């Protein structure tokens, strides 16, 4: 089964890459892409591997329990994204976005727990 999951992820990410690559090449020159890779290859590689690993964990977790629980838990990543956007990237209205994301995530978790009974 692990081979099937890995094959699924490879095909999914290949499709995503085939869509994003023309977009990136339209807005960035090959030189800009090469410079970004030289400067940040470690973080780019790590983020790609972590992303694939996180997706594998979600797929594996969905085999262990009801999808509604995993989907609600997965939405908690919105809070982390809002927080990092605010603190790391300096996006405006960060506190409000983090609070709103927390409320939405709490609502999804409550829905998942309500579906349990």
- The DSSP H or E segment spanning 49 is helix 30-64
For the chain, the domains span 1-64, 67-117
Is 117's pLDDT higher than 70? no
pLDDT greater at residue 95 or residue 40: 40
Q: Are 112 and 72 in contact (CB under 8 A)?
A: yes
DSSP for 101-116, please give it. Answer: HHHHHHHHHHHHHHHH
Q: What is the DSSP letter of 34?
A: H
Query: Averaging pLDDT over each range in 10-14, 32-36, 80-84, 89-93, which range is the top one?
Result: 32-36
């Amino acid at each position: 089964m692990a081979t099937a999951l890995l094959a699924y992820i490879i095909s999914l990410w290949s499709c995503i890459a085939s869509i994003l690559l023309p977009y990136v090449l339209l807005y960035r020159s090959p030189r800009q892409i090469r410079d970004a890779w030289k400067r940040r290859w470690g973080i780019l590689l790590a983020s790609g591997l972590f992303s694939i690993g996180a997706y594998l964990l979600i797929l594996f977790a969905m085999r262990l329990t009801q999808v509604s629980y995993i989907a609600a838990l997965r939405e908690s990543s919105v809070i982390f994204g809002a927080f990092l956007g605010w603190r790391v990237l300096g996006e405006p209205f960060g506190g409000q976005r983090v609070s709103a994301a927390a409320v939405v995530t709490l609502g999804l978790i409550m829905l998942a727990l309500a579906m349990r009974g």
